Amino acid sequence: MANPLFDALFAPHAGRDTAFLHLPSGETTSHAAFLAEAAQYAHALTALGVRPGDRVAVHIEKSAQALALYAGCVQAGAVFLPLNTAYTPKELDYFVGDSGAALFVCDPGEAAEMSSIAAKHGCILHTLAGDGTGTLADLAEAQATEFQTVARDAEDLAALLYTSGTTGRSKGAMLTHRNLLSNAEALVDTWRFTANDVLLHALPIFHSHGLFVATNVTLLAGGSMIFLPKFDQDAVIARLPDATSMMGVPTFYTRLLDDKRFDAALTAHMRLFISGSAPLLSETHERFAARTGHRILERYGMTETSMNTSNPYDGERRAGTVGFALPGVEVKVCDPKTGAELPHGEIGVLEVRGPNVFKGYWQMPEKTREELRDDGFFITGDLSLIDADGYVHIVGRGKDLIISGGYNIYPKEIELFLDAQDGVLESAVIGAPHPDFGESVVAVLVPEPGAKLDVAAVEAAVKRDLASFKRPRRVETMDALPRNTMGKVQKNQLRSRFAAVFSG
């Protein structure tokens, strides 16, 4: 019986004694050992009553076991639902409830707090820590190391990834076996990954970049990963000599460039540096090339589509562009009002179609219809143009989105939260250039007439209820927000006014 993702990514590794994960402890997990552990997790899930198609929500630290749980979910036919470790209980309550998860796996340290969320939504709670211990690990350890893979169709869901939206309510992007497998195949091919690759993996594994791009590509190619818990400058520099390739968000590369130890000698043996999730400034691209002799390969993607375009492996990696459509993927630039395709050189909204494009938003048919056309094109909301040589440029965003260190933040979500605080009449949230994160969050608060606004109390509420990366790093107050004659808040005015708050 077939299970497209498991058969291609995981099953071929059974019995392979080759290295898969190089861990910070100095230990190495072989492909065979990883497969055996995945099977144990698949058994554990089944023993807990998780059925094919059920969602398994995880709010856990990055570890080899967390990855084995992902593999176990795929093998057992469940839908993997990873959640940002920065999410607060209030945020998690929404994700667990909305997804109708059958099982919620959290860190042992937060189990007490999470038990009420699990109870409220009628799901089972288990734990898994960053060191690989926990109640789920105990259960898995007692299981057999082989598991009869559950059959799945290419159109069945393999993962549900939440992405916030312009309305402030997060939407679950439904990703099928076909979506994830086709993208891994296109990327292995485009980026020439092989079993000899050792990928330096310092990304989180709760997002598309670290989980599907980095991990699935390495699994499909049969290579290994230096699996770091997070981006730690010293650890990355220490481990680079053992790697052949690295993937990161632009902040990784600007931080490395700020470090004198990062030079041509340290990177001489490297095959490939890849960047994505946020725009890589041309200046960073050129500084990187001047320092190391490597031209970063920039690509472009989204949670809903995985990767869409990439600069070429051979040929010019053009700074400030995201290259060409991947094999099997179509891209076109369209008029935002009419949807008509625009000629090369004109700016419009990028639309993409291909086997990588998701199935829709979880239980949100209307939202799905707004963004996914009947003919299969997905409206990305990214403003772009295609130049005379066919390179795609992302020139801005039609959507009101801030990208901070590779994490997406939708202002609406923060504005709705701020507006509900005592003493706040209304608010506007914008992004301002930030030297480390690319962009960071600025909140402008308008106090209620006659009220004394307690900004510190508002900040404390934000800290309690919103993930730390969404926290406004600057809070300003104004008597009124600038509006146009239609009454719409003029965010451009706010953006220019606060453009230098983090840099000047």
Q: At what angle do helices 282-292 and 250-257 cross, to 10 degrees?
A: 50
Rounded Cα gap, residues 19 and 59, in angstroms: 27
Site for ligand AMP in 320-349 (CB under 6 A): 322
Q: Restricting to residues 63-82, name those near ligand MLC by CB under 6 A.
A: none
| Residue 279 contacts ligand AMP per CB under 6 A | yes
Q: Does 207 bind ligand MLC (CB under 6 A)?
A: yes
Name residues contacting ligand AMP, limited to 89-118 (CB under 6 A). none
If one asks whether residue 300 binds ligand AMP (CB under 6 A), the answer comes out as yes
Among 10, 95, 193, 231, binds ligand MLC (CB under 6 A): 231
Return the residue of 57, 249, 333, 386 that touches ligand MLC, per CB under 6 A: 249
CA distance 185 to 306: 12
Distance CA 25, CA 368 (A): 44
When binding is defined by CB under 6 A, the residue of 218, 245, 292, 303 that contacts ligand AMP is 303
Residues 4, 165, 172, 210: which binds ligand MLC (CB under 6 A)?
210
302 binds ligand MLC (CB under 6 A): yes
Residue from 230, 344, 483, 488 binding ligand MLC (CB under 6 A): 230
- Cβ-contact 168, 412 below 8 angstroms: yes
Which tokens in the block code for residue 347? 């700016």
Q: Is the dihedral of CA 203, 207, 209, 210 positive or negative?
A: positive
Alpha-helical regions (H) of 177-327: 177-191, 208, 217-221, 233-239, 250-257, 264-267, 282-292
The three-point CA angle 97-101-103 to 5° equals 125
Is residue 21 classed as helix, strand or coil in its secondary structure?
A: strand
The verdict on 301 binding ligand AMP (CB under 6 A) reads yes
Alpha helices in 132-263 (DSSP H): 135-141, 177-191, 208, 217-221, 233-239, 250-257
Residue 273 contacts which entry, ligand AMP, ligand MLC, none (Cβ below 5-8 A, type-dependent): none
Picked from ligand AMP, ligand MLC, none, the partner binding residue 313 (CB below 5 to 8 A depending on kind) is none
Distance between CA atoms of residues 390 and 5, nearest Å: 32
The residue assigned the tokens 């375009």 is 309
Name the residue nearer to ligand AMP (CB basis): 163 or 493. 163
Tell whether residue 464 is a contact of ligand MLC (CB under 6 A). Answer: no
404 counts as binding ligand MLC under rule CB under 6 A: yes
Residue 274 C-beta: closest distance to ligand MLC, Å: 10
Q: Which residues contact ligand MLC (rule: CB under 6 A)?
A: 86, 203-204, 207-210, 230-231, 249, 251, 276-277, 301-303, 404-407, 437, 468-469, 471
Q: Which residues contact ligand AMP (rule: CB under 6 A)?
A: 163, 208, 276-279, 298, 300-303, 322, 380, 382, 394, 397, 403, 408
